[in-house]
Amino acid sequence: MNRATAALIGTLAAFGTPQADAQAPPSYPAKPVRIVNPFAPGGNTDVVSRAIADRLTPALKQQVIVEHRPGAMTNIASEAVAKAPADGYMLLMGGASNAINMSLFNKLPYDTVRDFDPITLCVQGANVLSVHPSVPAKNLRELIALAKAQPGKLNYASASVASVGHLTGELINQLAGINMTHIAYKGSGQAVTDLLGGHVQLMYSGFSSTLLHIKSGKLRAIAQTGAKRSPALPDVPTIAESGFPGFEATAWYGVHAPARTPKAIVARLNSEFVKALKLPDVRERLSSLGFEISGSTPEFYGNYIKSEIKKWAKVVKASGAKPE
């Protein structure tokens, strides 16, 4: 070994080789792991996060904590995780908002693709289009005909500006050539209350927000936005079945780590999250709320995020949606 080679080896040892940097510490995890939720407690991300966290704690032999950091249309939580140490101890339960925000905001303090390592797509959830019983339409075709006969008179609610519910309504407006007026709320709770009271006529919402009211007859479900019918509402057709072939617009939730997290940690987390999602009690709990269980590879999830960024960018631009 000559002196130059010896000096090079010494330098690499001092600074760390790429291969060494990619290795997970043998003790990982050595302390609690946090799943940061960008919304307030009680919503879909909370349900998904806690269902999985309950089963990850014994698997990882460390407490898995769900931490809420709501605000700024998910950007507070997303920025915090993007800028956290890339050591596997702080994760984001991200979702469609992370794809939508890429085109909604002129400038973000993070990049959804560049600043995160995808772990797994956890679930996808179709929205259900439900109407107040005073609305005479029994299906989507009748609703569109009613909207054309009364332009601008029908109001649809969503949980927030640029939510999947809002943009789904805008997409239907574009495809059907109608003008239903969007009413934004700060969360699904008040939106559903106003829908039940007839103050708004319809809403695109997650199943967990309206399913009980639909089953009790207080609301009428006329379509759902997934690629196939949900077992939670097997008699309600999809929008694709109702005259718009290929239509699909879902809320989705998946786990992200800060970019440059060691590959071995990403692999370990992916394995444990996917195992948790396959457990019968977790599947039953989430399926009952209309979620389709995924549990994907990091590569699949990364490509899925890119496709969703592209899809929603077109709708955001056409709708003129602006951040609150």
Tens digit of pLDDT for each residue in 187-207?
888 999 999 999 999 999 988
Contact 304, 159 (CB under 8 A): no
Average pLDDT, the chain: 91
116-276-236-147 Cα dihedral, nearest 10 degrees: -20
Q: Retrieve residue 105's tokens.
A: 């905001």
Has residue 8 got a pLDDT over 90?
no
Residues 120 and 254 in one domain: yes
Residues 120 and 263 in one domain: yes
Has residue 258 got a pLDDT over 70?
yes
Residues 141 and 214 in one domain: yes
Average pLDDT over residues 86-109: 97
Closest by alpha carbon to 294, among 280, 319, 274?
Answer: 274
DSSP secondary structure, 123-185, as one string:
EEEEEEEEE-TTS---SHHHHHHHHHHSTTT-EEEESSTTSHHHHHHHHHHHHHT--PEEEE-
Confidence (pLDDT) at 39? 87
Contact 143, 131 (CB under 8 A): yes
Is residue 232 a part of any domain in this protein?
no
Residues 73 and 209 in one domain: no
Q: Retrieve residue 323's tokens.
A: 């951040």
Is residue 77 a part of any domain in this protein?
yes
Query: Helix (H, G, I), strand (E, B), or coil: what is residue 68?
Result: strand
N- to C-terminal Cα separation, the chain: 64
Report the b/e string of 199-216 with b at 16+ CB within 10 A.
Answer: ebbbbbbbbbbbbebbee
Q: Residue 293 belongs to a domain with what CATH number?
A: 3.40.190.150
Is residue 7 a part of any domain in this protein?
no
Residues 107 and 197 in one domain: no
Residues 134 and 104 in one domain: no
What's the total number of domains in the chain?
Answer: 2
DSSP secondary structure, 21-65, as one string:
HTSPPTT--SS-EEEEESS-TTSHHHHHHHHHHHHHHHHHTS-EE
* Measured distance CA(16)–CA(26) in Å, rounded: 17
Q: Residue 211 belongs to a domain with what CATH number?
A: 3.40.190.10
Has residue 9 got a pLDDT over 90?
no
Has residue 3 got a pLDDT over 50?
no
181-184 and 155-158 beta bridge pairing: parallel
| pLDDT bucket at 6, cuts 50 / 70 / 90 | very low
Better-predicted residue by pLDDT, 18 or 99: 99
Residues 217 and 279 in one domain: no
Confidence (pLDDT) at 100? 97
Q: Retrieve residue 61's tokens.
A: 């032999």
Query: If 0-12 CB within 10 Å is exposed, 13-18 middle and 19+ buried, where does residue 277 land?
Result: buried
Has residue 12 got a pLDDT over 90?
no
* Measured distance CA(169)–CA(160) in Å, rounded: 12
Determine what percent of the chain is predicted with pLDDT higher than 90: 80
- Tell me whether the omega of the peptide bond preceding residue 298 falls within 30 degrees of 0, making it cis: no
Chain mean position to CA 279: 21
Confidence (pLDDT) at 200? 98
Please state, in angstroms and as integers, the Cα–Cα distance from residue 144 to each residue in 140, 178, 262, 316, following that order: 6, 7, 51, 21
| pLDDT bucket at 278, cuts 50 / 70 / 90 | very high
Chain mean position to CA 241: 24
pLDDT tens, residue by residue, 114-173:
999 999 999 999 999 999 999 999 999 999 999 999 998 999 999 889 999 999 999 999
Is residue 265 a part of any domain in this protein?
yes
Residues 275 and 265 in one domain: yes
Residues 118 and 265 in one domain: yes
Is residue 24 a part of any domain in this protein?
no
Has residue 308 got a pLDDT over 60?
yes
pTM assigned to the model? 0.85
Is residue 66 a part of any domain in this protein?
yes
Confidence (pLDDT) at 23? 53
Contact 96, 301 (CB under 8 A): no
Average pLDDT over residues 55-60: 96
Residues 132 and 93 in one domain: no
Q: Retrieve residue 89's tokens.
A: 């101890």
Residues 136 and 106 in one domain: no
Is residue 101 a part of any domain in this protein?
yes
Is residue 215 a part of any domain in this protein?
yes
Has residue 218 got a pLDDT over 70?
yes
Q: Retrieve residue 93's tokens.
A: 């339960």
- Domain residues for 140? 126-224
Determine what percent of the chain is predicted with pLDDT higher than 70: 92
Residues 99 and 173 in one domain: no
Average pLDDT over residues 285-310: 94
| pLDDT bucket at 24, cuts 50 / 70 / 90 | low
Average pLDDT over residues 279-291: 90
Better-predicted residue by pLDDT, 14 or 239: 239
